[in-house]
Structure 1
Amino acid sequence: VPEEIEVCSTRPDYTYQPLVGSDDFHNGLLPRWQFNHDPDPLYYCLDPLQGTYTITTREVCTELTQAVNTITQRMSYPSCAAEVTVDASELKEGDIAGLCALQGCYAAVGITKRQGKYEVLMLDKREDGILNVTDGIVVGSHQIDFRLEADFCNMKDEARCYYRVNKGDWLPIGTVHKLYFKLDHFTGCRFGLFCYAAEETGGSACFREFLYHDVDETTIINCCCKEKGNAYE
């Protein structure tokens, strides 16, 4: 079998839209996004003028995969990264909102509200089904940037989570997370923006400035992080 095969396009003049990419939400929800479940339009809001996607919690959930109105994008091989800004000012006690590598054994970095304070944490769903949650890191802002990197090269299949406050340096959180493809979640691994309630419904989180980095951009960013002592050590 040859390494490369060329085929003729049936639409040679057609411009195909990319399957993945950044989104400032100023043009509605682009086709590259897919909902993780059947969406409930009563509990999400797109504001093209503000460039935001807001999720309001509909029901109490026991874990991330139950969250309604999570939007997802494919992850690209051999490595990729995504960033997003989250405004958590309208979260209710116990709510969690953030950025995830969505699959059965998911990894996520998010912000929660506990006793009136905002905390950043990592969710780590292991292959044995146990969910590990890091101790929360108290942050002095309700607006946080999250970053998630995925490396699929040579079947490495790892994800790493970061956060930053006030556009400062990226800070790692949690441990390196091993990704597994299993039949319990058959869409592959995807970036996801989520918000769910753990105690009471009606809280919300606002997402803006979603940035998608391909393998070349990811390499550059990782090098920059290493110089600051924040990366893959």
Structure 2
Amino acid sequence: MPITDKNSSASALFAMKRVAILSILCLLILAPMCGLRTRKFHSDNGDGTYTNPLIPADFPDPDVIRVGDAYYMVSTTMFVFPGVTILRSFDLVNWEYCSNAVPRFDFSPCYDLDGCNRYGHGQWATSIRYHNSTFYLLFITLDEGGFLCSAANAEGPWEIRQLPKGFYDPGLFFDDDGKIYVAHGYGDISITPLDEHFAPAGPDSLVYTGTIRHGLEGTHVYKIDGYYYLYCTYGGRDGIQVALRSRNIYGPYEEKIVIRDTVPGVTFGIHQGALIQTQTGEWWTILFVDSGPFGRFPSLQPISWVDGWPVAGVDGRGVITYKKPDVGKVHPVRQFPASDTFDDDVLGMQWGWNHNPNPGKWSLTQHPGHLRLIAGKVVENLREAPNMLTQRPFAHYDQAVPTMGTVKMEVEAMKDGDIAGLAVFQDPYAYIAVKREKGGMNLIMVNNGELVASVPLRSTIIYLRSILSNSTEKANFAYSYDNRVFQRLGNELKMRFSLKVFTGNKFGLFNYATQESGGYVDFDWFTMN
């Protein structure tokens, strides 16, 4: 059922509810007879099992810790802010947003799209640890160096500071004797001691050079039964997860493969992540899989120990459907928020701006119940446009079912040269939008910077839609004046996961100026189905 106008009458709402109830009853009665398939949106199967991917969306480079009965996961968000997203779970299967540790990143004008950008750069491969009642996040940016975030609670507030030295793919480690170390490197893995301010307290010591192939990275450090384990990956789409083991933090280390899944499918090339022990003593690992244009999806795998070495999956392969971890309790199924009616005075944690937002150019209060985007500085194209609000698309577990994003947009206050609409953003990108020029308005579709289609706009209230498929790697665009009958516009976007951007394709809501600033549009709601 489409979202209706927010000023709908009570009788209309009652009628809608009655239709919904009747629809549910019909489905309950007819579904078994019609052979309808349940559309699955989350990993938990509700019967004591789960199905990978753990989260069918772009949460790459996961690091995970347990603090008490709660599990916390951090992932890479790069140039998107609020970013450095923290997720929380109580059973390793059902996750929810906990916080975005870095609201904005004010360490370079490039994060403001001020003559430069940080596409493909920014924050990545964060290490999360909890020590002496404090949470720590250690990460690097390729251009600005190393940063440390700290907080008393994972929900925040977080404090961020720049470090005197950055470490590539850092693995922060607090040893039993109070000493602090970081493991880091690409190809060559080094250990560096840190002082209490997280500055180097000694030289980088090379402890291991990858032997299987080039590119050993993504190191996290654990101490288990007297051994130091460096949990590393040989990255790439056909990734390999390995463990290095030594009785001494500085080595010498020996290496074993944890998992090398070469069978095409949802666990192919599973790699890079964390080891976790539950409160009942079970061992698990959360890694990720390069999963197509939607990005890199986390995967939960059981760990068995063989002669003191961790082995992931079953019989050399990642599991797809498997029994849930034993955490001592049963927890409810959770689903990530995606749709938004913009009724709150703060944005939901599913949203992130493309680079830093300009706080004076967007509002949830100027037109309550709407997201207002005000065109800022004049730019040439969407890649340069400030204040594009983005969200990860979630894939369906049935890959035959595409993902659909729809917005309701009010465009009466646009100025000449303004372009506002709904994008699917990566490299290449495409969008469907309203463009105002010479006092008139047209609906346009742009694919990879080229105008593909244009038709006159017949109303200042418009519904825009994008339908995208992670399996076919294609996206289409359409519009409607009543949110029921949609007309396709333009051609297909062939989505890619380009390292020039290095995040999965995202939905984007935008309004940018090509002639003068100050025009605005109001987004009434956004839905993802």
Superposition TM-score, scaled by structure 1 size? 0.81
Give the deviation of 1:115 after TM superposition. 1.4
Q: In structure 1, which of residues 180, 188, 191 is the aligned counterpart of residue 507 of structure 2?
A: 191
Give the deviation of 1:187 after TM superposition. 1.3
Aligned mates of 2:513, 2:405 — CA distance in 1? 24
1:163 match: 479
* SS of corresponding position for 1:134: strand
- Bigger mean CA deviation after superposition, 42-51 or 5-14: 5-14
Q: In structure 1, which of residues 180, 201, 214 is the aligned counterpart of residue 517 of structure 2?
A: 201
Contact 1:20 1:74 in 2 (8 A): no
2:455 match: 137
Q: In structure 2, which of residues 311, 324, 339 is the aligned counterpart of residue 22 of structure 1?
A: 339
1:72 paired with 2:395, answer: no
1:89 match: 412
**Larger RCO (CA within 8 A; separation ≥ 6):** 1
Using a 3 Å threshold, how does the CA distance of structure 1 residues 12 and 178 change in structure 2: closer, same or farther?
farther
Give the deviation of 1:29 after TM superposition. 0.9
Aligned mates of 2:355, 2:469 — CA distance in 1? 26
Q: In structure 2, which of residues 456, 470, 487 is the aligned counterpart of residue 152 of structure 1?
A: 470
Instruction: State the identity as a percent.
Output: 26
Using a 3 Å threshold, how does the CA distance of structure 1 residues 24 and 97 change in structure 2: closer, same or farther?
same
Aligned partner letter, 2:460: H
Give the deviation of 1:62 after TM superposition. 1.1
Aligned partner letter, 2:407: V
Aligned partner letter, 2:526: F
Give the deviation of 1:55 after TM superposition. 0.9
The structure that has the greater radius of gyration is 2
Q: Over residues 154-180 of structure 1, what are the superposed CA-to-partner deviations in whole Å (9 max), with x where a residue is unaligned?
A: xx1000000012445200000111111
Using a 3 Å threshold, how does the CA distance of structure 1 residues 9 and 172 change in structure 2: closer, same or farther?
farther
Give the deviation of 1:203 after TM superposition. 1.1
2:423 match: 100
1:45 match: 363
Q: Over residues 123-158 of structure 1, what are the superposed CA-to-partner deviations in whole Å (9 max), with x where a residue is unaligned?
A: 100xxxxx21134211221111000000112xx100
Contact 1:25 1:48 in 2 (8 A): no
* SS of corresponding position for 2:321: coil
Aligned mates of 1:10, 1:198 — CA distance in 2? 55
Contact 1:118 1:141 in 2 (8 A): no
Gaps of 5+ in 2: 1-316
Aligned mates of 1:182, 1:15 — CA distance in 2? 36
Aligned partner letter, 1:210: F
1:211 match: 527
Using a 3 Å threshold, how does the CA distance of structure 1 residues 14 and 63 change in structure 2: closer, same or farther?
farther
Using a 3 Å threshold, how does the CA distance of structure 1 residues 9 and 88 change in structure 2: closer, same or farther?
farther
Give the deviation of 1:102 after TM superposition. 1.0
Aligned mates of 1:13, 1:41 — CA distance in 2? 42
Gaps of 5+ in 1: 126-130, 214-233
Aligned partner letter, 1:160: N
* SS of corresponding position for 2:467: strand
Give the deviation of 1:50 after TM superposition. 2.9
Contact 2:446 2:453 in 1 (8 A): no
Aligned mates of 2:349, 2:363 — CA distance in 1? 16
1:216 match: none
C-alpha RMSD over aligned residues: 2.1
Aligned mates of 2:510, 2:328 — CA distance in 1? 37
Q: In structure 1, which of residues 90, 93, 110 is the aligned counterpart of residue 433 of structure 2?
A: 110
Q: Over residues 177-201 of structure 1, what are the superposed CA-to-partner deviations in whole Å (9 max), with x where a residue is unaligned?
A: 1111111111110111011011111
* SS of corresponding position for 1:175: coil
Contact 2:453 2:489 in 1 (8 A): no
Contact 1:20 1:212 in 2 (8 A): no
Contact 1:20 1:73 in 2 (8 A): no
Aligned mates of 1:37, 1:17 — CA distance in 2? 29
Using a 3 Å threshold, how does the CA distance of structure 1 residues 134 and 13 change in structure 2: closer, same or farther?
same
May I ask how many residue pairs the two structures share in their alignment?
A: 206
Superposition TM-score, scaled by structure 2 size? 0.37
Using a 3 Å threshold, how does the CA distance of structure 1 residues 10 and 175 change in structure 2: closer, same or farther?
same
Aligned partner letter, 1:45: S
* SS of corresponding position for 1:141: coil
Aligned partner letter, 2:459: S
